[in-house]
Amino acid sequence: MPNSDPVHAYLDAVRDFDGNTAKASALIKGIAAAADVMQYHLEDFLRLAYGLPIPMPGGHGYRTDQRARLNMNEWPDSQKIKETMEQWHASFMRLREAWGQVPIEARSGLREPPQKLSTK
């Protein structure tokens, strides 16, 4: 049941938004890390993630940088990415709406909602 007190409803919306921001941030950081590994450590990534060894020039064995190890079983599919972004966006919109319901005189001490979605 929704809270009828606008301040408490806003605080509930803040908690929901913060939780969804954390989920979105973790997802975005994982995608960024994968992009970084594939851009700067592609051969290591291919070897560690898929078992595709690529010999080093001059026949000096195989290169392995453990920083390129990603658990591809945890890789989000497009549905997971979409759901995470939709939940984050919906909580952002609820937060902004709840803020609009808080009387101006009751806003003192409350964190104003962000103007845009951002993980920073």
Asked if residue 57 belongs to a domain, the reply is yes
Asked if residue 116 belongs to a domain, the reply is no
Radius of gyration of the chain (CA): 22
Note down the domain range covering 62.
7-106
pLDDT in tens, 5-16: 999 999 999 999
pLDDT in tens, 63-100: 566 667 777 888 899 999 999 999 999 999 999 999 99
- What is the rounded CA–CA span in Å between residue 86 and residue 23? 12
Q: Cα–Cα–Cα angle for 50, 55, 60, nearest 5°?
A: 135
Asked if residue 112 belongs to a domain, the reply is no
In the chain, the number of structural domains is 1
pTM surpassing 0.75? Answer: yes
Asked if residue 23 belongs to a domain, the reply is yes
- What is the rounded CA–CA span in Å between residue 88 and residue 116? 12
Asked if residue 15 belongs to a domain, the reply is yes
Asked if residue 114 belongs to a domain, the reply is no
Asked if residue 111 belongs to a domain, the reply is no
